[in-house]
Structure 1
Amino acid sequence: MKLGIVCGYGTDLNNDIEGYLNSVLEFSINNNINKLILTGGITQKSSKISEASLMHQILEGLNLDLEIVLEEESITTLHNLLYSKKIINTFDEKIEKLYIFCDAVRIFKVFCLSKIIFNNYSVETIYFQRKENFLIYCMQIPSTIIQALGVIFPELEKIIITSRQQWNELMDSYKQSK
């Protein structure tokens, strides 16, 4: 089986999620991918839908010859991959090749994390251009280091998820006050 993991990036349709998914689908069809795991939880309290569910809704209307699995708990790139690995561990089929889809901003992080998390698999990281705020680019180097350490040290992984939840709450409060 060829499997793809699709990292989610918010639930704002203005962030070109549809273009991102079209690129993922084109690659998946051209490379005979059998199954996709759509990843991403509810990253903003104001959102009523998870990132994975939004991607699924976009793909639902298309008659795809792909099995779709949702991972709706993660709120960081690290957790997209860790929770996807838990799902993968429940599959009976042998994974011939694992593709991880992300945006160009996070390619280095996803590449590094995948080498640690999926070291028993043949992994290829595929990225697509997507409009992103410059600050997000700047945050990727420290974020990559911290999240890679989170894979190695489970206590740090728990701190990462708690910190991200607190950050999301702070951002929600800030947006509501405007």
Structure 2
Amino acid sequence: MNVGIVCGYGIVADERLVAYVRCVIEYASAHQLDTLILCGGQTIREEKRTEAETLREIMGDDVVRFHLLMEETSISTLHNLLYSRQLIETRRLPVKSVTIFCDTLRFMKVFCLTKLLFHAYSAQVVSFQRKEPLFMYALQLPFTLLQCVGAVCPPFERLLLRCRKLAAKSQQTR
């Protein structure tokens, strides 16, 4: 089984997210991926929809091309990958290869996390261009380092998750 893990990027189906999903579908079809794990939880408290549901909605009729698994609890790149790996392991999927999809902004972070979390699999990272604000590029180095530490140190991973939830909560009350 060839599995693709699709990192989610928000619950708003704007043109950037739609273009990203279209690129994923095109690549997954051309490379004969059997299963796609759509990742992303409820990142905006007022919204009932998850990022994974948004990805599935954007896929439209293309959902029938793949066996879909929904990972709907993650709120960070680290957790997209951690929870997807747990899904693969708990379902005992007979995985031959793993392709992880992300945007170019997060490529280095996803690449590093893939080396740490998917070393037991034949894994690769495929990124697609997505326009992001310049300041987001500056944040990637510290986020990459923090999430890599979280990938190998469960207590730190739980601390990162708590901090992320607190930050999201404080942003929503503004």
Q: TM-score if structure 2 supplies the norm length? A: 0.95
Provide the aligned length of Structure 1 versus Structure 2: 174
CA deviation profile, 1:50-89 (whole Å, cap 9, x unmatched): 0001111222433632101100000010000000011000
- Give distance in 2, aligned partners of 1:143 and 1:86: 22
Residue 112 of structure 2 aligns to which amino acid in structure 1?
C
1:4 aligns with 2:4: yes
Identical counterparts, % of pairs: 36
- Give distance in 1, aligned partners of 2:138 and 2:47: 26
- Give distance in 2, aligned partners of 1:140 and 1:134: 11
- Verify the 8 A CA contact 2:150 2:156 in the aligned structure 1: yes
- Give distance in 2, aligned partners of 1:54 and 1:132: 19
- Give distance in 1, aligned partners of 2:99 and 2:24: 10
Residue 33 of structure 1 aligns to which amino acid in structure 2?
L
Superposed CA RMSD in Å reads 1.3
Match of 1:108 in 2: 108
Match of 2:74, SS state, is: coil
- Verify the 8 A CA contact 1:104 1:128 in the aligned structure 2: yes
Match of 1:66 in 2: 66
Unaligned 5+ runs, structure 2: none
- Verify the 8 A CA contact 1:7 1:101 in the aligned structure 2: yes
Match of 1:101, SS state, is: strand
- Give distance in 1, aligned partners of 2:110 and 2:103: 9
Q: TM-score if structure 1 supplies the norm length? A: 0.93
- Give distance in 2, aligned partners of 1:81 and 1:63: 21
- Verify the 8 A CA contact 1:3 1:36 in the aligned structure 2: yes
Runs of at least 4 residues of structure 1 off by over 4 A? none
